[in-house]
Amino acid sequence: MKSPDTGPDFVVKLVETEEELRAAQALRYDVFVRELGGGGDMVDHQFGLERDRFDPFFDHMIVTDTSSGTVVGVYRLMRDDQAARAGQFYSEDEYDLTPLRQSGRRLLELGRSCLHPKYRGGIAMFHLWNGLAEYVERNGIEILFGVASFHGTDTEALRAPLSLLHHNHLAPPELRVRARETQFQSMDLIPADQLDRRAAMLEVPALIKAYLRLGGNVGEGAWIDHKFNTLDVCLVLDTARMNARQRRLYEGGGR
């Protein structure tokens, strides 16, 4: 699959070969293991691959720099029919997804989003978003969701951005998933009237900000992921609630 507007230097497609999958897993290893200090039972340190038992059930979207043939961006996508074959969504280990499952709407879980360091802040992510928009349209997806992470597990250091998400961006009750109690971390850590919202937003990771700009919300509570050395929040985006400007951004139509 190509994005409708990949330009001359990037191609966006779904992984079709074992070689492409290994390239995606290698980029994930560089970002999530080498850079961020993550780990896992199936991480292959010998060959530098970050993988898990869910990989065979996901679609893997990659963006490739055609000048070098290098995979520079990755997204992992799981529709509800794929989750049924896997036995669950990946994020169900961290969040109770009952509200989403009971909605009766077409679901798509997003995960393992990452870019090569040299391509961050450029147009590579734009191409991934274009590819994602095409995938969503083709598969009739109505709700997108998935965990996104703050680096580190020091809750005290993340009090402000977590509180901002809690006070200003909670998902509506009918879509409000909740972190499981085993590693549940309240995000209501600073009273709303004592929060410096501008300063707090500066501490929110870029990917989470992007979903918020598109009208996304977060579930109740964060999840402490010691394996990946992160504090995770669950983002939920109802495509029906996106306004015209947000939809143009999402579909690559500019500001």
Give 76-128 pLDDT, tens digit per residue: 999 999 999 999 999 999 999 999 999 999 999 999 999 999 998 888 888 99
- Residue 228 has what pLDDT? 83
pTM for this entry? 0.89
- 192 Rama class: left (phi>0) / alpha (psi -120 to 50) / beta: alpha
For the chain, give the mean pLDDT: 90
Which tops the pLDDT comparison, 218 or 42?
218
- Residue 6 has what pLDDT? 42
Element (H, E) at 250: helix 244-250
Does the pLDDT value for residue 5 go beyond 50?
Answer: no
Inter-CA distances, 88 with 75, 80, 140, 148, Å: 19, 9, 20, 18
